[in-house]
Structure 1
């Protein structure tokens, strides 16, 4: 396959990964809100989703594909964590989750994420990133 044909696949793959990260993060936020738990095991689901999307886009295996899958998984973890915190803060304040998200700053979110995520949650998040690197390569 010519180099230009492979290079043209990256915009599609990037768009797929961005949409996939946003979609899996939205599902994760809804699940966590319904269960009233962090549901950190969803990081593994995000990793599998990112690897599958890269294969669907027919990106050639290698370090760049592994990096892309890992980055997409990390993005899903960040968005989901921020959204879960915003949703948990919104209810007692009488706000909608997206209103809370607009008022939530990164430092406050980081502090609350540190308080909400225990060792098991951290292990699931790290496992998700590692699995993304392995499955995406």
Structure 2
């Protein structure tokens, strides 16, 4: 079976972002930095940047991320959102409360016309999220 997973790109904030997402979603976080792999460090000041991070939640969700070294072009993510759906209203509210710390709310979490809860925000790391909790 194939997997389709969000893979987030950052300039230098991957570790902080993934630590934050782990505090929001729970789960196990594995982080590898560029210095762990021979020949991958071009700038010694970037040795501890994240080459690959993977957060696997107890529910089986997988979120991945990496930093982009200064030797490579980088553009902030745009035109895409990480969508978390199918959770209970209680879980949706709890995740929303944590994700919204320092975020820009683009659509407040509220009852959706299709049922359940729905809201949109851009978190403190510039990542757009959509939360959709199932009706009770």
TM-score (norm 1): 0.24
**More strand, by proportion:** 2
Task: Looking at secondary structure, tell me which structure has more helix per residue.
Answer: 1
